[in-house]
Amino acid sequence: MFTMIRAIKGIKDILPDQLPRWNVVEGAAHRLARCYGFREIRIPIFEITELYIRSIGGTTDIVEKEMYTFNDRDGTSLTLRPEGTAGVVRAIIEHGLANNPATRKLYYIGPMFRHERPQAGRFRQFNQFGVEFIGSTSPKADVEVISLLWRFFSTLALPSITLEINSLGQPPERQRYKAVLLTYLQGKIDRLCGNCQRRMEFNPLRVLDCKVMECRAVTESAPSLIDYLSTSAQHFKDVRAGLEDLGIPYSLNSRLVRGLDYYSMTTFEVTSSSLGAQNTIGAGGRYDGLFEVLGGKSTPAIGFAVGLERVISILPESAMPLPNPLVFIAGFGNRGLPASFRLLEALRSKGVTAETDHYGSSLKNLLRLADRLGASFTIILGDEECMQGQVLLRNMYTKEQETIPLNSAPDVLANRLKTPNSP
Ligand code: HAM
């Protein structure tokens, strides 16, 4: 006897019952991204490891602890993509997409891989919907991207969502602030966790992001980066004014430093209090320096990514369309069976979702099967009906039955079941 093989920890199947929710969320992502002028791009699921080290940063948790890295047969180090931005920027540089105004706004949907400790809302394979808007330094680009993120969540009617924004400034501003923060933290080093003590020297900003209670208490009254902005202060002001102008509610969060090193200036996160500890449903920011780091021409850019598993877990029923009504054909008898197969094809050609059973079971069994499949109508078609050129149409909710001509059954049902979901 063989033992059963299970899926890997933190890596989930998406089962048929869950797929309608995925279709709704992905459908909204495609529709809204296009509506905001973004075009889809599909990038590889694995790339040269160096791409992620250089873009995300060698001392980030993702690169230090979470990447699925392996050697190709020729010894080249490859990594399953932990996020989409690095790959999209690589593709933009490689194919010169930045030169064409029609390919400066791109979006993607697909799986990402991080070796994190699995828990509710945190997976090792998870799906993101992300957008990247390149080539604009305008604060309006920031507002456009944040507005799309907000509209995506609002369209799906996600409960209890909050948008927080921050500015990390440009590198010289951040450098100046880091020195101020470091002096502040050095005075309180004994109260910081081991991790923060270790990373304080090379990246004191990360301490602001630490979830340990004592570290949070220490950083509660730390100097705020926003107060140290100079060159990018106006940009941030304009982003805030733009959000206010569009009526997008936000709050400032000076702790929002993000876990990836490529960010500068605007950063943002949306959380939902309907989720547990892993409550960030989407996040992003500006990354004006990334193109150069990856060997391209200096190009400003901003984007976000949404964690689709988290969105789907709080998607309200009200966001779900009614399923396409199903017509079941209960065919039996030497004539009834072949006629019902022809009718099945005729119904489907009219866009009606139809199903049958090919084995000519008893009418009782066929009606039971129709019930289990959730059929709205059952067409009963035996030899006798066939000879009379008629079928019995049974409403599965009211149990009422009526006789209709066999030939016109496809049109009658197509008209009766006209739904927004029919093709
Ligand atoms: P991120 O904050 O690392 O940003 O991930 C974005 C979103 O992906 C998170 O807010 C969360 O919803 C989801 N997510 C991340 N890790 C997991 C996980 N292990 N399980 C389930 N969901 C997860 C980025 O990835 C950037 N590339 C976003 C971006 C695009 N910035 C600019 N452009």
Contacts of 331 (CB under 8 A, 6+ apart): 337, 339, 340, 341, 343, 356, 357, 360, 381, 382
| Whether residue 114 has its Cβ less than 6 Å from ligand 1 | yes
User: In angstroms, what is the C-alpha Rg of the chain?
Assistant: 28
What's the CA-to-centroid distance between 382 and ligand 1, angstroms?
A: 56
| Whether residue 108 has its Cβ less than 6 Å from ligand 1 | no
Number of domains composing the chain = 2
CA dist 277 and 274 (Å) reads 10
Q: pTM for the whole thing?
A: 0.93
On the question of pLDDT at 421 being above 70, the answer is no
Both 119 and 41 in one domain: the answer is yes
The packing angle between helices 233-245 and 139-155, to 10°, is: 40
Q: What is the distance between the terminal CA atoms of the chain, rounded to a whole angstrom?
A: 47
Residue 291 is part of a domain; what is its CATH number? 3.30.930.10
Each residue's pLDDT tens digit, 265-285: 999 999 999 998 899 999 999
Task: Determine the residue of 260, 265, 286, 294 to mutate for testing ligand 1's pocket, defined as the one with the most ligand atoms within 8 A of the Cβ atom.
Answer: 260
Each residue's pLDDT tens digit, 197-242: 988 888 889 899 888 899 999 999 999 999 999 999 999 999 999 9
Both 313 and 349 in one domain: the answer is no
- Which residues constitute the domain of residue 361? 326-416
Q: What is the mean pLDDT of residues 304-314?
A: 98
Q: What is the pLDDT of residue 361?
A: 86
CA dist 139 and 150 (Å) reads 16
What's the CA-to-centroid distance between 82 and ligand 1, angstroms?
A: 9
Q: What is the mean pLDDT of residues 368-391?
A: 96
Residue 280 resides in a domain = yes
On the question of pLDDT at 111 being above 60, the answer is yes
Query: How high does pLDDT run on average in the chain?
Result: 95
- pLDDT above 90 covers a percentage of the chain that reads 90
| Whether residue 135 has its Cβ less than 6 Å from ligand 1 | no
Q: What is the pLDDT of residue 290?
A: 98
| Whether residue 208 has its Cβ less than 6 Å from ligand 1 | no
| Whether residue 281 has its Cβ less than 6 Å from ligand 1 | yes
| Whether residue 142 has its Cβ less than 6 Å from ligand 1 | no
Both 366 and 262 in one domain: the answer is no
Instruction: Note the residue count of the chain.
Output: 423
